[in-house]
Amino acid sequence: MKRIVVIAEIRHGHLRNVSLEALTAARKMAAGQTDCEIVACVFGEHPEMADVLAEYGADRVIFIRNGQLASYTTAAYRQALLQVLDVLDPDAVVAGHTAMGKDLMPRVAATYRAGLVSDCTQIENGNGELTFVRPIYAGKAFEKRTITGDKLFVTVRPNNIPAEPARGRGAVETMDVEVKDLRAVVKEVVRKTAEGVDLSEAKIIVSGGRGVKSAEGFAPLRELASVLGAAVGASRGACDAGYCDYSMQIGQTGKVVTPDLYIACGISGAIQHLAGMSNSKVIVAINTDPEANIFSVADYGIVGDLFEVVPLLTEEFRKIVGKL
C-alpha cells in the first residue's frame, strides 16, 4: 500500500472524533509497510484543523476548495471527492460510518467498481493481509471480511478503534475542484441535536424505555445525562409509545451504539434492543422488575423505580464529577 486517503469530517464546525479514529485505522492498514502516505482530506478550508490531523498521523492534509462544499450534499461531495481521488489514486479510502460516510462511500466505491467494508469495528493486519471485523445482525454476531481489488473502501464505526496520536508530516495543501449540475437542493436544516451529544459518538448514554411512562418522564434522564455529558437514547417501546422521537431509538431497528457506559432506565431488554447496545463496555440497568431481561447483559443492576433511583444517582455523580 502506497497511499491511503482518510476523509476528515466536520460536523457543526468541529472535526469529528471518528475521523481521528479513521486515521488510526489507516495507520493499522499501513502497518509494516514503508513509505505508505496517509492523506487526510477535508471538505472546505479549515487550516486550524491541520495540526490535530498531523498529530494523529496525517502526512498530508488536503483542503478541498469549492463554495458548494460548506455543508454536505451527496452530489457536490461525490464530485469533489472523485476529482481528488483521481489525482491521488490511493490504494484505500477510509471514512467514519456516519450519516455522511454511509451516504457518500457506497456511491464512490460503486464508481470505482470497488469493495467497501462498512461499519468496521476492528482491523487485523497479518503481514499486510488485512481482515476487517464488522457486526452483523446489529451486533448479535460478527463477521470477518477481506477485500480484493485495486482500491479498498472502509467505513469505521465510531468509538471502536481508539484514536492514537502518532505524528505525521502534516504538509498542508489546497485543491480546487469543480462542482456542477446539482439536482438535489437542501432547503433547510433544523438542528435538533444542538444541546445534546450525538448518540453514535457518545461515550456515555442514558437511555429510557417504557418505564419512563411519558415524554416528561425523560426529564430526570436528561438531567443525569447533562451531569455526565452523556447522550440520551430510548428503546423502541418508548418511541412507539410516543414518549420521544425515533431518532433516539437504539436497537436492531434504530441506532447501534457502543459507548463506554450505557445506563438503561426502565428498559425491559427485548432482544432487538439488546442487539443495539449489548456491546457497550459497561452496562447499568435500572428496572422495577428483577426478572427483566436487561439484567442479563448488565454489569451493574439496581432493582428499583427509575424516578427514585435516577435523581439519587444524578446527585452522586454530581459529587464525583465536581471533585474531578
Partner 1 sequence: MNIIVIMKQTFGTEEKIVLKDGQVSDDNVEFVINPYDEFAVEEAIRQKETHGGEVTVVTVGLPRAEQALRTALAMGADKAVLIDGTDVPADEFVVSNILHAYLSKRPFDLILGGNLSVDNGAGQVAVRLAELLDIPQLTTITKLDISGGIAHAERNVEGDVESVECPLPLLATAQQGLNEPRYPSLPGIMKAKKKPLERVTVQELGLDQEALAPKTNITERQLPPKKQAGKVLMGEIADQAKELARLLSEEAKVI
Residues 57-116 touching partner 1, rule: CB under 8 A, are 74-75, 98-99, 102-103, 106-107, 109-111, 113-116
Of 18, 41, 117, 225, the one binding partner 1 (CB under 8 A) is 117
Q: How many residues bind partner 1 (CB under 8 A)?
A: 98
Quote the CA–CA distance of 196 and 320 in Å, as a whole number.
Answer: 21
Of 199, 257, 267, 277, the one binding partner 1 (CB under 8 A) is 199
Q: SS3 of 79, please?
A: helix
Of 28, 145, 210, 213, the one binding partner 1 (CB under 8 A) is 145
CB of 193 to partner 1, least distance (A): 4
CB of 179 to partner 1, least distance (A): 14
Residues 279-308 that bind partner 1 (CB under 8 A): 279, 281-285, 290, 295-304, 308
Smallest CA-to-CA distance from 119 within 159, 77, 73 is with 159
Give the range of 27-35, 44-52, 83-91, 198-206 binding partner 1 by CB under 8 A: 198-206
Give the gyration radius of the chain's Cα atoms: 21
Give the range of 28-36, 58-66, 167-175, 309-317 binding partner 1 by CB under 8 A: 309-317
CB of 218 to partner 1, least distance (A): 15
Residues 154-193 that bind partner 1 (CB under 8 A): 183-193
Residues 226-265 that bind partner 1 (CB under 8 A): 228, 239, 245-249, 251-254, 256, 260-261
Quote the CA–CA distance of 286 and 263 in Å, as a whole number.
Answer: 8
Of residues 47 and 229, the one with the C-beta less far from partner 1:
229
Looking from the CA of 88 toward its CB, the CA atoms found within 13 Å total 28
Of residues 84 and 244, the one with the C-beta less far from partner 1:
244
Quote the CA–CA distance of 100 and 51 in Å, as a whole number.
Answer: 23
Smallest CA-to-CA distance from 239 within 203, 286, 199, 296 is with 199
CB of 284 to partner 1, least distance (A): 7
Whether the CB-CB separation of 131 and 144 falls below 8 Å is answered with yes
Burial 36-45, CB ≥16 within 10 A → b, else e:
bbbbbbbbbe
Quote the CA–CA distance of 193 and 99 in Å, as a whole number.
Answer: 14
Grid cell at residue 258? 457502543
CB of 23 to partner 1, least distance (A): 21
Of residues 107 and 210, the one with the C-beta less far from partner 1:
107
Provide CB contacts within 8 A for 213, sequence distance 6+.
243, 266
Grid cell at residue 112? 470505482
Of residues 61 and 69, the one with the C-beta less far from partner 1:
69
Residues 15-34 that bind partner 1 (CB under 8 A): none
Smallest CA-to-CA distance from 12 within 55, 56, 71, 52 is with 71
Give the range of 22-30, 83-91, 214-222, 314-322 binding partner 1 by CB under 8 A: 314-322
CB of 88 to partner 1, least distance (A): 20
